[in-house]
Amino acid sequence: MTELDSLPDDVRQAVAETRERVAALHAELPRWGLVSWTAGNVSERVPGADLFVIKPSGVTYDALAPERMVVCRMDGTKVEDWTSTGLNPSSDTAAHAYVYRHMPAVGGVVHTHSTYATAFAARGQEIPCVLTMVADEFGGPIPVGPLAIIGDDSIGRGIVETLEGQRSRAVLMAQHGPFTIGADGRDAVKAAVMCEEVARTVSIAQLKGPVAPLPQDMIDKLWYRYQNVYGQHAEGAS
Ligand SMILES: O=C(CO)[C@@H](O)[C@H](O)COP(=O)(O)O
């Protein structure tokens, strides 16, 4: 009997379903060109439990599977179970756990080293809101977070201090790379994809010099439309 086995049936079912989703979401990072080798990671809260599921550290993306996803408590410690025995959770687990403890509305966290967004992070330069797509997805510029070393709560604290109360779901941690948050893992992955997309476009645009930001009233209108009107809203229409 492992620790995970001792949990109620509904929690074990929720853990199994979250593992399936998180394993599938990891495939999106190489698919969209956001990571190289074993860089980056995705996590998602387990609905109805003070647990989250995260990638095992240093495992290549082609070797990731639901049963290899690591289950953690909100303090970042691993829940022992027979499927992920011997697999340590991501080296960013403390950061993900800190975000979950301090931002209750966040259901998913993603970290990548995607090239263009990481270049902005290297320079400590925010991605300015010069495109309608930046206004739609991030509601303003994508901010830079503090330089923080991996291994304790520093990165997580920097993410929360930068994003709390902000529209942006992405932060460029200085000289490290982007972290994104979302209502769930898929939402956080989308934010990572769109963060890299706008970073690339803005980088190219800025080759010819600075680009003027959109007027704030337009940013506000674009953000509202995209968050509340855009797309399909009928049940199951997505
Ligand atoms: O940024 C770093 C290392 O600096 C890490 O986030 C790696 O990018 C992925 O680490 P694991 O999730 O495989 O431990």
| 214 pLDDT more than 80 | yes
ipTM of the complex: 0.95
Task: Say which CATH architecture domain 4-228 belongs to.
Answer: 3-Layer(aba) Sandwich (3.40)
Strands (E), 75-187: 108-111, 144-145, 170-173, 177-182
136 is catalytic: yes
Of 37, 90, 96, the residue with max ligand 1 atoms within 8 A of its CB, to mutate for a pocket test, comes to 90
91 within ligand 1 shell (Cβ under 6 A): yes
Give 170-191 pLDDT, tens digit per residue. Answer: 999 999 999 999 999 999 999 9
224: Cβ contacts below 8 Å, ≥ 6 apart:
none
- For β-strands 108-111 and 144-145, DSSP reports them as unpaired
pTM, two decimals, is 0.96
Amino acid at 21: R
Measured in Å, residue 91 CA sits from the centre of ligand 1 at: 6
DSSP summary character for residue 183: S
DSSP state of 73: E
What's the pLDDT at 160?
98
Q: List pLDDT tens digits, range 65-90.
A: 999 999 999 999 999 887 777 899 99
Determine the atom of ligand 1 nearest the C-alpha atom of 40. 8
Q: Does pLDDT of 238 surpass 70?
A: no
Query: In the predicted model, is pLDDT for residue 3 greater than 90?
Result: no
- Over residues 114-142, the mean pLDDT reads 98
The answer to whether the CB of 55 falls within 8 A of the CB of 93 is no
- Within 10 angstroms of residue 229's Cβ, the number of other Cβ atoms is 8
Amino acid at 1: M
> Domain extents for the chain?
4-228
Ligand 1 atom closest to the Cα of residue 39 is: 8
Kindly give the distance from the C-alpha atom of residue 205 to the centroid of ligand 1, in angstroms, as a whole number. Answer: 30
